[in-house]
Structure 1
């Protein structure tokens, strides 16, 4: 595909978004795109703003927009800022009214999954027509359910019609990191290529490379990748969380990284998971408290 054609330019934006190059997407000049591609490109720009914690103002910008794509992004922007009750109702309404819209499927399923309604999210995503992002999201949900078998099945089906897609390669890497064995090395190759390419060398790619290195037992190499990720974004939650894990494995101090994570992303899954495990441990330990005296 010609990268300078309207379709090629949209693919460039698509790959930049899924590679974590949110600033590049936000700043991309889309004035030359056709009317057909204007809404998809605007969707990527708005999603990049939300992913970059720049959702403030999006709701006002999209006020009165009747396109399902933009309406659901307005709700998602509000959801990301904590207005969950009203925005979930809006998402539910849009899912019911426009279940075949690709943006509604992706954003609607994302919100439903976060709300603990994963089966509803999967039902919505099952309506997609050749949407690789829907495939990737199904894989993520299946992995969160510990259904690696179904996640692998989804990847293998997608590879029949989208062998060289960035999203399919990433989804296969996610599954490979769960399966283990020789698939750790395969996942590493995917992330290494992304991390070394100027257009996709983002904290996300470097973290993926580091996680692969951790599974392969290559701690020094993993540390280098995570340091590079933190140089690009010192407050990246996933980079900090994985640096804590690496430090524990290497027997190093991690208090600085823990403090940074608590300040940068206090609701990060790593922190909430540790808090839950700590609470469960305290409850279990309380049952066996030594009794002193008669």
Structure 2
């Protein structure tokens, strides 16, 4: 078996997963993969199924699996179905025994971050040995922490050894959208290139393009990109969230998008933030409410 061919096939699966081509990942024929790459492909396929709403089925299929990779995937499936305490305990066990495993680092980092243990997630992910997904997750976590400086540092370090990789280009674009200025246009070019190609035009890439368009003040173009994203995936949470933001900027009604997002992902950060802001407003307004006396 040609090892270069096997690595190329795995890279195709890797890229398809991170471009949001989840069905392509699941249907990919992995028969040409070298034995050491088979489980890596399995992990991507299981994660794609979890993302498409098959977490319970994946969890059932992985019952009894004890390899670090599949145990980590099982924990992710459990977390996705709402069994968060069990999943957190399970992933902690896997991390304690297999913290050097790339899949364990990535899935462990995801669950730790979701559990509010972002610094622990970064510490685990930072143990990676050339794992681009670990890099991209560190960048995302640093951006969530409003540490753009550390996110930028991570991207710059990765560019020294993975200049042309998809994930590094995407991570640099995410940081660019936070830095602003001329970086908005640079990020737009990356997302536009992905969105224009038939093989990589997916809801996530179209959302990235739309966000860049919003920052550049091109609201009509952003609306077109978001409409295309929702045509591909009507329940794409980030497309819906950005459609809500865009409607506010454009002065349009967003009640339909809000309703869809509540049904699709009721704990989406945008909805949580809106609820918190609404409560703060009501509290502030109550202080100035007219007091009625008998």
| Band of TM-score, shorter chain | over 0.9
SS of aligned partner of 2:289 = coil
- How far did residue 264 of structure 1 move? 2.1
Q: Distance in 2 between matches of 1:155 and 1:10?
A: 23
Task: List aligned pairs for 1:113-128, cutoff 5 A.
Answer: 113-128=113-128
Aligned pair count reads: 293
Q: What whole-Å deviation, never above 9, does each CA across 1:17-42 have from its counterpart, x for those lacking one?
A: 01011110011111221211100000
Q: What whole-Å deviation, never above 9, does each CA across 1:74-112 have from its counterpart, x for those lacking one?
A: 111011101111111011111111110001100001100
Task: List aligned pairs for 1:12-91, cutoff 5 A.
Answer: 12-91=12-91
- How far did residue 245 of structure 1 move? 1.1
Aligned to 2:258: 258
Aligned to 2:269: 269
CA root-mean-square deviation? 1.5
Q: What whole-Å deviation, never above 9, does each CA across 1:100-138 have from its counterpart, x for those lacking one?
A: 000110000110000000111111111111111111100
Aligned to 2:146: 146
Aligned to 1:244: 244
Aligned to 1:160: 160
Q: Which runs of 5+ in 2 are unaligned?
A: none
- How far did residue 262 of structure 1 move? 1.9
Task: Out of 171-180 and 48-57, give the one that drifted further.
Answer: 48-57
Asked if structure 1 preserves the Cα contact closer than 8 Å seen for 2:112 and 2:118, the reply is yes
Q: Which runs of 5+ in 1 are unaligned?
A: none
In structure 2, do the counterparts of structure 1 residues 54 and 4 end up closer, same or farther at CA, with 3 Å as the change threshold? farther
Deviation beyond 4 Å, 4+ runs, structure 1: none
Task: Out of 163-172 and 49-58, give the one that drifted further.
Answer: 49-58
Aligned to 2:231: 231
TM-score by length of 2: 0.96
Q: What whole-Å deviation, never above 9, does each CA across 1:7-58 have from its counterpart, x for those lacking one?
A: 1110000000010111100111112212111000001001111111111211
Q: Distance in 1 between matches of 2:66 and 2:37?
A: 17
Aligned to 2:107: 107
SS of aligned partner of 1:261 = helix
In structure 2, do the counterparts of structure 1 residues 4 and 234 end up closer, same or farther at CA, with 3 Å as the change threshold? farther
In structure 2, do the counterparts of structure 1 residues 78 and 161 end up closer, same or farther at CA, with 3 Å as the change threshold? same
Q: Distance in 2 between matches of 1:4 and 1:221?
A: 41
Asked if structure 1 preserves the Cα contact closer than 8 Å seen for 2:188 and 2:212, the reply is yes
Q: Distance in 2 between matches of 1:252 and 1:131?
A: 43
Q: Distance in 2 between matches of 1:95 and 1:194?
A: 35
TM-score by length of 1: 0.96
Asked if structure 2 preserves the Cα contact closer than 8 Å seen for 1:3 and 1:12, the reply is no
- How far did residue 285 of structure 1 move? 2.3
Aligned to 1:279: 279
Asked if structure 2 preserves the Cα contact closer than 8 Å seen for 1:3 and 1:9, the reply is no
